[in-house]
Structure 1
Amino acid sequence: MAYSIRCADFNNDCPAQFSTPDEDELLQHVELHTKVVHQPMEWTPELVEVVKTHITKS
């Protein structure tokens, strides 16, 4: 099973997208992307929960 997410799912024009075989790994990629590309956005527990609602499984 693959876990995927697109930054564009959050109503922005960022082309980033991620797909990993593990949800925790996916969240690590998204966390790093958020901290580097979308400064000053903070990676909070609340944001993690929002991100999880946009993850697709295939």
Structure 2
Amino acid sequence: MTVSIRCADFNNDCPAQFTAPDQDELLQHVELHTRSAHQPMEWTPELAEVVKTHVKQV
């Protein structure tokens, strides 16, 4: 099941978007992006749960 997510899904103007073959890999990409592009935002288990609610199957 291929999944995707866009930063714009979180009400910001970041153009980043990610597609991966599964949710685990997608979350790895989003975590790296969050840590590098959205400082000082921290990647936490709570944030990961919020991100999961925005993942879409493609």
The TM-score with structure 1 as length reference comes to 0.97
Equivalent residue for 1:28? 28
Aligned length: 58
Identity of aligned residues (%): 78
Equivalent residue for 1:54? 54
Superposed CA RMSD in Å reads 0.5
Give 5+ residue unaligned stretches, structure 2: none
Q: Structure 1 residue 22: deviation in Å?
A: 1.3
Q: Structure 1 residue 41: deviation in Å?
A: 0.3
Give 5+ residue unaligned stretches, structure 1: none
Amino acid at match of 1:40: P
Residue pairs, 1:36-51, within 5 angstroms: 36-51=36-51
Equivalent residue for 1:5? 5
Runs of 4+ in 1 over 4 A off after TM superposition: none
The TM-score with structure 2 as length reference comes to 0.97
